[in-house]
Amino acid sequence: DTGVSQDPRHKITKRGQNVTFRCDPISEHNRLYWYRQTLGQGPEFLTYFQNEAQLEKSRLLSDRFSAERPKGSFSTLEIQRTEQGDSAMYLCASSGGGNQPQHFGDGTRLSIL
Amino acid sequence: EDQVTQSPEALRLQEGESSSLNCSYTVSGLRGLFWYRQDPGKGPEFLFTLYSAGEEKEKERLKATLTKKESFLHITAPKPEDSATYLCAPSSGGSYIPTFGRGTSLIVHP
């Protein structure tokens, strides 16, 4: 049984560098979501895809953040010109659509030096 | 704007000491309310979905209930392995995007 997988699990980078994270959803799920979570907070929604279409991106934190899901399978989240405040856990989730529950990966922890 | 408040923020229990966690929400047009468990360094793990007031769901020592303004997660005779952060997340609107609360951090002492 393969759940949602995220890569890398940890990323340490210097301020100003670009970073890219990958998410592989559960294969039969057509919806894919990205969240950010900081210490003591719940996950904060960033964007989501239905198949390859990005249906909501107004809540991406700034224009430095972008996401793609080119063939409706895996997705990538890119942060350009990283800042100290970008340090957080970035979570990916997938679901079967509609009001089906989301299933999360174990996240990528980003640390900005 | 959807709002979710979970209380208490932290809860310490002795093994076997039952208690309840609260999730108060204000959303426009509730589509469903999700409960998740999150262990340190891990992603949230799905527990329950509740769709309408009066609905209840059970799983082992956990029971979730829903009213029009609140949801409760009741923990009966907890064990140390129940220690985790419990998150609630109501969803609303056409996109069904859930809004997560800050969670309740539960520690169960043996």
The per-residue pLDDT for range B26-67, each reduced to its tens digit, is 988 899 999 999 999 999 999 999 999 999 999 999 999 999
Contact B26/A at CB under 8 A? no
Give the pLDDT band of residue A105 (cuts 50, 70, 90). Answer: very high
For residue A70, report the phi and psi dihedrals to the nearest 5 degrees.
-60, -35
Rounded to an integer, what distance in angstroms lies between the CA atom of residue B67 and that of residue B20?
A: 15
A42 vs chain B: nearest CA distance in angstroms? 4
Residues near B19 by beta carbon (within 8 Å), at least 6 away in sequence: B11, B13, B74, B75, B78
Q: Return d(Cα B102, Cα B85) in angstroms, integer.
A: 9
pLDDT band for A1, please (50, 70, 90 cuts). low
pLDDT tens digits for A13-34? Answer: 999 999 999 999 999 999 999 9
Return the number of CB contacts < 8 Å for A and B.
Answer: 53
Interchain CB distance below 8 Å, B100 and A103: no
For residue range A45-70, list pLDDT tens digits in order.
Answer: 999 999 999 998 888 889 999 999 98
Contact yes or no for B76/B68 (Cβ under 8 A): no
Q: How buried is B103 (Cβ within 10 angstroms: 0-12 exposed, 13-18 middle, 19+ buried)?
A: buried
Average pLDDT of every residue of chain A: 94
**pLDDT at site B83:** 98
